[in-house]
Amino acid sequence: MVARVTLLYAHPYPQRSRAGRVLLDAVRGLPFVDVRALYSLYPDFAIDVEAEQRALLASDVIVWQSPFYWYGAPAMLHHWFEKVLARGWAYGSGGDKLRGKRVLWVTTTGAPDSAYRPGAMHGHPFDAFVPAFQQTAVFCGMRWEEPIVVHHAHQLGDEKLAAAAAEYRRRLEAL
Amino acid sequence: MGDHGLLFEVTIYLAAAIVCVPIASRLRLGSVLGYLVAGCAIGPFGLRLVRDVHSILHFAEFGVVLMLFLIGLELDPARLWSMRRPVFGGGTLQMAACGAALTAAGLAVGLPWQAALVAGLALALSSTAIAVQTLKERGQLTSPLGSTAFSVLLFQDMAAIPLIAVVPLLSGSSTGSAGTAALKVVGAIAAVFVLGRYVTTPLLRFVARTGLREVFTAFALLLIVGIAQIMSAAGVSMALGAFLAGVLLASSEYRHALETDIEPFKGLLMGLFFIAVGMSIDFGLARERPLSIVALVVGLVAVKALTLAAIAGALSVSPKQRWTFAAVISQGGEFAFVVFGVAGQAHLLPGKWGAMLTLVVALSMALTPILLLVHDRILVRDERRDREADAIEHEGAPVIIAGFGRFGQIVGRLLFASGIRATLLDHDPDSIELLKKFGFRVFYGDATRLDLLHAAGAEHAKLVVVALDDIDASTRLVDLLREHFPQARIVARVRNVTHYLELRGRGVNEVERETFESALRAGRRALEQLGVDPYQAREYADRFRRHNVETLEELLPHMSDETRRLSVARAAREQLEVQFAQDRADFEGTSGEWTDAKE
């Protein structure tokens, strides 16, 4: 039985993101994937928490796909964490609804891999920015999958981008 | 009404009142004394401008009826029921104690026992008109002291009925059986109950729906006059009947509309009543027997006040206030006039006693304001120092919504859903019906009437939502709120740009154009349908809103200058076009992840 996937896509301007679109298009057609484009669903940030939680309950894998903004998630995805991963539901007393599910983080960055090292533009290896996401999943009792990080996404050649998208699709099918 | 005609007399009354009452108020003597003096001045013993005092007094008693109706409106049946102990317990005690003391005094001055008993009980009655008006002017009607006094007065109104009935029996000239009389009383009260409870509210609704204010007022007056007629036909106090009707309508949504409509009539007729009392003071008799009259007045007030002060503790009046309590109801009442009239016809009171006691009662009424003045001079300092907290009913909601149509309803329902109970003002009887079903506090009436705002508790309101349809009414209401209730914050619905500028110019910061936000949302949906990302569409709308509001705010200083306003508006439109063109250029000139991070 294939895992059911809920894919939360958080890009404020989807049409302007070539990388985001290519990656998403690679997995959108998979029958077990349910894409929820958060910025389009909730342009006023009025997240329908119940609908979001219903979608999560019906899935085995949760994908967070977004650009990498300011060393973290875009405002909408962070807002989604705050609203949907509620105490008593996702964590805390009685908060066991997500236990055992798996989380895959897929993100695109604006700088090349080489910018993420000591002394370079971003000062730290990219791994240094992962724990906040990972611990969010672990705190809710979920299993953390190796993230997919596409660096320098807007400068990436079409072929390389297509390869990243194919890898993304392969990973989802394998989960 | 004499040869001069009605208008002439009206002129006399009004002129006398506006000369005497403001002076009395200015001298802090209270309006009652002013009216009484005015009455003395124009009466048969003054300028002799008015002669037929008795028919005027009879007519003006209707003021007391209206007053009791209004007091009844303030007391719903539940509150009246909670007053049963002070009314029946306290009232009985007061009547028994004062009645006994005054009867003893009557016997002491040589009256036969029947006359002493009737006079004693009649003099034990106090004047509701004087006492309530005085308490109200002093702001004490809703204080514990005021409510005890009122309970006693209410019981007296009831006690007066058997008293008047018993006079012919005592004189041995009984007519008709007591049984029929009792039956008539029960019948009349039942009729008032049915009228007030089941008939009036649907009728009021029907009349309100016509939207004709004066017809509503006419109906309210008709209601009270009609009830007074029923009661008087049964020999019951008209005031008591009106009070009962008021209580039955206290929980009606028209309570405040009735209050505001009846209030001016009550005020004028009460004034007329006090004038009539002043006119009826028989100075001829006073000149004839000055010493005995003075002795009787002093005796009456002293006996009554001392007795009241003695029983004040038992009526749970605090020791500090017992002399105030005693002074407020130390006078004889208007029912005494009736009792002495009946007793005179029945030859129960010997010689000139009837006329003398009537004069004594009138003078004792005039003495009350003076007594209180003296009392205040002596005791005011003590009382000021540790005045007990007034148990005033603060039912005013912190939020008032004026206008509960399509706009106000959404505001109100949102507040209601968030646990905030707003008080609603509206003039559409149909929607009021519906809202009452949902448990809203709804008042029917014109929200731009100051008295209705007072009634709705605007002085306690934290916030008033001005959601009226009518631009003029909305602006008027804002002016009223700014002037009389400056503590209330205002959130206003505005209908168009001019209205927006009018209210902003009055310093209202929270204004919402009624169609602007929904139009912006429709615009966003249009953009989405054309393929613009929803969040992007939202940002366009946000930017449009900000620009639009800035443009409007720039117009504020130029409100009176039409041409300047137009040119600012045109410049703003061009500026927006430039800005949007710039936006488009930005979007087209970028590709891929330009928003990503910070290279």
* Per-residue pLDDT, B336: 83
Per-residue DSSP letter, A35: E
Cβ–Cβ contact A74 with B under 8 A: no
Q: Please state at what angle helix B113-124 crosses helix B334-345, rounded to 10 degrees.
A: 160
Element holding B468 (H helix, E strand) = none
Cβ–Cβ contact B533 with A under 8 A: yes
Residues 114-153, chain A: which have Cβ within 8 Å of B? 121, 153
Taking the CA of residue A16 and the nearest CA in chain B, the distance in Å comes to 6
Taking the CA of residue A109 and the nearest CA in chain B, the distance in Å comes to 7
Residues B258 and B279 in one domain: yes
Give the list of residues 6+ apart from residue B16 with CB closer than 8 angstroms, or none: B38, B39, B41, B42, B275
Residues B374 and B320 in one domain: yes
Residues B236 and B285 in one domain: yes
**Higher local confidence (pLDDT), B427 or A59:** A59
Cβ–Cβ contact A39 with B under 8 A: yes
Cβ–Cβ contact B524 with A under 8 A: yes
Please tell me the total number of residues recorded for chain A in this structure.
175
**DSSP letters spanning B73-99:** HH--HHHHHHTHIIIIIIHHHHHHHHH
* Predicted structure pTM score: 0.55
Residues B428 and B557 in one domain: no
Domain of A140 in residue numbering reads as 5-174
The one-letter code for the residue type at B221 is: L
* Per-residue pLDDT, B393: 36
* pLDDT tens, residue by residue, A10-51: 999 999 899 999 999 999 989 999 999 999 999 999 999 999
Residues B183 and B102 in one domain: yes
Q: Could you say which of A14, A17, A111 has the minimum Cβ distance to residue B599?
A: A111
User: Is B242 domain-assigned?
Assistant: yes
Q: Does B596 sit within 8 Å of A15, measured CB to CB?
A: no
Residues B375 and B493 in one domain: no
Residues B510 and B533 in one domain: no
* Per-residue pLDDT, B563: 64
By CA distance, what is B536's nearest residue in A? Answer: A13
Residues B535 and B509 in one domain: no
User: Is B388 domain-assigned?
Assistant: no
* Per-residue pLDDT, B382: 52
By CA distance, what is B587's nearest residue in A? Answer: A16
User: Is B599 domain-assigned?
Assistant: no
Q: Does A153 sit within 8 Å of B534, measured CB to CB?
A: no
Residues of B with Cβ-Cβ distance to A68 under 8 angstroms: 596-597
Radius of gyration, alpha carbons of chain B: 32
Residues B354 and B426 in one domain: no
Q: Does A44 sit within 8 Å of B538, measured CB to CB?
A: yes
Q: Does B598 sit within 8 Å of A43, measured CB to CB?
A: no
* Per-residue pLDDT, B180: 75
Residues B76 and B150 in one domain: yes
Taking the CA of residue A90 and the nearest CA in chain B, the distance in Å comes to 26
Domain of B532 in residue numbering reads as 527-587
Cβ–Cβ contact B536 with A under 8 A: yes
Cβ atoms B369, B435 nearer than 8 A: no
3 state SS of B491: strand
Please state the ipTM of this predicted complex.
Answer: 0.88
Overall domain count for chain B: 3
Alpha-carbon dihedral sign for residues B347, B350, B351, B354: negative
Residues B211 and B320 in one domain: yes
Overall domain count for chain A: 1
Q: Which has the closest alpha carbon to B365: B133, B520, B45, B118?
A: B133
* Per-residue pLDDT, A123: 95
Residues B143 and B273 in one domain: yes
Q: What is the CATH number of the domain that holds B247?
A: 1.20.1530.20
User: Is B521 domain-assigned?
Assistant: no
Q: Does A154 sit within 8 Å of B593, measured CB to CB?
A: yes
Give the list of residues 6+ apart from residue B152 with CB closer than 8 angstroms, or none: B86, B87, B90, B91, B94, B126, B315, B329
Q: What is the CATH number of the domain that holds A51?
A: 3.40.50.360
- 3-state secondary structure string, A60-97? CEEEEEEECECCECCHHHHHHHHHHCCECCCECCCCCC
* pLDDT tens, residue by residue, B477-527: 999 999 999 999 999 999 988 899 999 989 999 999 999 999 999 999 999
Cβ–Cβ contact B386 with A under 8 A: no
Cβ atoms B255, B457 nearer than 8 A: no
The low-confidence residues of chain B, meaning pLDDT below 70, are: 1-4, 139, 165, 168, 171-178, 351, 379-397, 429-434, 436-439, 559-569, 572, 575-576, 579-580, 582-599
Distance, in Å, from the CA atom of A38 to the CA atom of A45, rounded to the nearest integer, reads 9
Cβ atoms B534, B528 nearer than 8 A: yes
User: Is B225 domain-assigned?
Assistant: yes
Residues 142-171, chain B: which have Cβ within 8 Å of A? none
